[in-house]
Structure 1
Amino acid sequence: MAGLRVLLAASEVVGFAKTGGLADVTGALPRALARQRHLAAVVMPLYAAVRRSGRPVERTGIVLPVPMGDRVLACRVYRSHLPNTDVPVFLIEHQPFFERDNPALGRGLYQQSGPGGDKVDYWDNGERFVFFSRAVMELVPHLGFTPDVIHANDWQTGLVPVYLRELYRQHPGYQRMRTVFTIHNIAYQGSYPRELMNLTGLPGWLYNPGQLEHYGFNFLKAGVVFADAVTTVSPTYAREVQTAEYGYGLEGVLANVSGKLSGIVNGCDYEHWNPAHDRLLAATYTPETVFEKKPLCKADLQRRFHLPEDPNAPVLGVVARLVNQKGIDLIMSAAPGFLDLGCQLVVLGDGDREYHDQLQYFRDRNPDRVGIYLGFNETLAHAIEAGSDLFLMPSRYEPCGLNQMYSLKYGTPPVVRTTGGLADTVVNATLENLADGRATGFSFNDYTASALYETVKWALVLYRDRPADFRQVVRTAMAQDWSWDRSAEAYVKLYQRVLGG
């Protein structure tokens, strides 16, 4: 099959606006597709964050009419490119919906800070992303090419497959188009009152238990039911979301469409995350120089967090959203034990107030053993990946995860729970896997602080008493290929399958 034409629709893209891993995927996958000679483009909302990003953005002169119930709202279309590429990024402007984010005022892309500091969703998120999904469909004739596939991502674009099948299929240029829908995190579904259906232009009879209804009008379910193919961001997560433990109420729906459901592990952007040429590090290194140069990164990390520069104290690193999903409760419960084992702990993240308070209290009691940074800092994120001896990622669930892949590349063995993408990307350092030369990190099954503690304890046995084994784990980890080119090849095969190729 000749080169494919793919439009990725998403609510955030790295370099323009980002809250999580979705943005990394939608920034990296189209680059990889373009490298493989496919035509890719991206469409996203024009947030205030985009204007603050410094990315060059220009008007196209395109004004789209977007039906919303008994109204038609106009939106301008702007255009940019993914950094250092020719991949176009189309930006949907509608200031009342999208240009409200302002970190100084506690306003993000989807949420704002409440009176107590907790994050609450914007009251009109449903309306905002009905508008965005409809605008994506109206944009298609103005792209300069006709997409073979529209690749929608997460609940914010869950209506795109519905619109194509129910309202646009017979329009010129739309007939052969197919849709792929990717679930990056099933916990976020976009569920709203039935009355929101009135704004969509979709026939009311679609609101039934087999299609759009699931405790309300459910955008994620819409994407799952109507897309030609559904993916999650790892094979293990694709299996997990079909179970009651991980399916967040949609496990039956996903089990019913298992024939079109698959998992593709996200790639790692090795242009940005590579210790061989990472300008944010105190020292760059390769697999050949890791044991010579990594200690320089460790000392730099200790200085940055005002910890004693002790080369013999194992540094445990954490870069995560400070929320229940990420296993922060396990880390906090096990942390006193880590200090008793002679470790230092450094944490970078932002999230729930309770974890902010717990970390601050723990750091105040152990200022020479614990360092924290509440918020996000790109330089510190790289410093932690390179300077830590072990990276902690004991997630309750993890659709794919990126930090464990960064850790592998940086020779910082990750300590993970065997869930989702963590299970697919980290090979546990059992005696058998060590003997076979396959081990790349450390993992455990039970979601308990004691399981995390015992796993770290075993890792430290290798670190201190069996350094040859630990070094082998480091080298094997750094040799892994979780590049986006690898992932893009899997997506291309999927696109070809839905197109009948």
Structure 2
Amino acid sequence: MTDKKVLFVASEMIPYLPENEVSSLAYENPRMVNDRGGQIRIFMPRFGNINERRHQLHEVIRLSGMNLVINDMDMPLIIKVASIPKERIQVYFIDNEEYFKRKATFSDEDGNLFPDNDERAIFFAKGVVETVKKLNWSPDIIHVHGWMASMLPLYLKKYYADEPLFADSKIVTSVYNKDFEGTLDKQMIEKVKFDGIAEEDVKSLGNPDFSGVLKVAIDNSDAVVVASDTIPADLDEYLKSVDKPVLPYVSIYEFEDVYEQFYETKVLG
């Protein structure tokens, strides 16, 4: 991985959020690339239940201050940054008072999904791309972990299709086991179409459940990693029909060599 640039975009990540399959691998994966001589950038949402003081988050003024249009509304973009000291790894946080101030990640205390999770995912995707543009950093690989990051492949391939910084970037999506019940807002497809993205490119969002959202990410990725031992049956079937490299599940204890080889031979090869 020497000198390869890898952008990691994650819904959640330890040590900032509780440990689970996504947050653990979203940490171990960039750590592996960093250890093996790659250059990395990591982005995640700045959820309100992340302890800013303990993790020493601070705003990056030169990167903040832009407005992103989400469903015809101007939403201010705030960028914060923190370091994981023992790994010498920096993490960028996408923040906005309206979307990420609340003291929870994806659902309220009764377990109900936040009604604006679809807009939060769109905002996160656009915020990552706009910030990487400001950093003028052109990644060789973009690896997406977690469903709230899953709009990124679509927006890069369609909305930012003419952006030269990403012209040669290869997108990898990790597919995990089902992460939420029910659906996101039924109007999600209309909000995406508002950005000039054609309906045929997002037909899976007609039913924006977990599988529908992930299918859009898969469609717009160059390669896919199965990141859970079991994934929803319909996604398993869907992956059999796609004409792109798919890496079968490998445990977090054995993934390092396998992922590196996949990057070098299937994604970049």
TM-score (norm 1): 0.49
* Deviation by residue 1:313-333 (Cα, 9 ceiling, x = unmatched): xxxxxxxxxxxxxxxxxxxxx
In structure 1, what is the equivalent of residue 106 of structure 2?
110
Deviation at 1:188, TM superposition (A): 3.5
1:206 alignment partner AA: E
Q: Would the alpha carbon gap of residues 492 and 65 (structure 1) be closer, same or farther in structure 2, given more than 3 Å must change?
A: farther
Q: Show the counterpart of 2:120.
A: 128
Q: Which amino acid aligns with 1:15?
A: P
Amino acid at match of 2:15: G
Aligned to 2:91, the other structure's residue is in SS state strand
* Residue 52 of structure 1: how far off its partner (Å): 4.8
In 2: Cα distance, 1:97 partner to 1:71 partner: 13
Three-state SS of the structure 1 residue aligned to 2:112 is strand
Match of 1:204 in 2: 198
Identity of aligned residues (%): 20
1:154/1:183 contact within 8 Å kept: yes
**Is the Cα–Cα contact under 8 Å of residues 189 and 219 in structure 1 kept in the other structure?**
no
**Is it true that 1:489 corresponds to 2:254 in the alignment?**
no
User: Quick one: which of 194, 204, 223 aligns to 2:217?
Assistant: 223
1:357-403 Cα shifts (integer Å, max 9, x gaps)? xxxxxxxxxxxxxxxxxxxxxxxxxxxxxxxxxxxxxxxxxxxxxxx
Distance 1:25 1:159 in 2: 19
Alpha-carbon separation, structure 1, partners of 2:226 and 2:181: 14
Distance verdict in 2 for CA 1:266–1:147, change over 3 Å: farther
How many residues in Structure 1 have an aligned counterpart in Structure 2? 263
Question: 1:75/1:92 Cα in 2 relative to 1: closer, same or farther (>3 Å)?
Answer: same
In structure 2, the gaps of 5 or more residues are none
Report the secondary structure of 1:120's partner residue.
coil
Corresponding residue for residue 32 of structure 1:
32
Determine whether 1:148 maps to 2:148.
no
- Is the alpha carbon distance of 1:32 and 1:223 closer, same or farther for their aligned partners in structure 2, counting shifts above 3 Å? same
**Pairwise CA distance, 1:92:** 0.9
1:453-492 superposed matches below 5 A: 482=253, 486-492=254-260
Change (3 A) 1:42 1:195: same
How many angstroms does 1:16 deviate by? 1.1
Q: How far does residue 8 in structure 1 lie from its aligned partner after superposition?
A: 0.8
| AA aligned opposite 1:495 | Y
User: 1: distance between equivalents of 2:157 and 2:125?
Assistant: 13
Relative to structure 1, the CA distance from residue 9 to residue 29 in structure 2 (aligned partners, 3 Å threshold; closer, same or farther) is same
Q: Deviations over 1:231-269 (max 9, x none)?
A: 1125xx4xx64xxxx41x3343222127522224242xx
Where relative contact order (Cα < 8 A, 6+ residues apart) is larger, the structure is: 2
CA–CA distance in structure 1, aligned partners of residues 240 and 128 of structure 2: 29
Q: Deviations 1:268-288 (Å, cap 9, x if unpaired)?
A: xxxxxxxxxxxxxxxxxxxxx
Q: Which amino acid aligns with 1:166?
A: K
* SS of the residue 2:132 aligns to: helix
Q: Matched residues in 2 for 1:28 and 1:500: separation?
A: 21
Q: Flag the 1:166–1:100 CA change in 2: closer, same or farther, 3 A.
A: same
Instruction: Tell me: CA distance 1:216–1:122, structure 2 relative to 1, closer, same or farther (3 Å).
Output: closer
Contact 2:245-2:266 within 8 A present in 1 as well = no
Scaled by the length of structure 2, the TM-score of the pair is 0.87
Call closer, same or farther: CA 1:53–1:232 in 2, change over 3 Å.
farther
What is the alpha-carbon distance in structure 2 between the residues aligned to residue 91 and residue 256 of structure 1? Answer: 35
Q: Return the alpha-carbon distance in structure 2 between the equivalents of residues 52 and 79 of structure 1.
A: 10
Which position in structure 1 is the counterpart of 2:14? Answer: 14
SS in 1 for 2:55: coil
- Cα deviation for residue 121 of structure 1 reads 1.4
What SS is found at the alignment partner of 2:165?
A: coil
CA RMSD of aligned residues (A): 2.5
Q: Please identify runs of 4+ aligned residues in structure 1 that moved more than 4 A.
A: none
Change (3 A) 1:206 1:191: farther
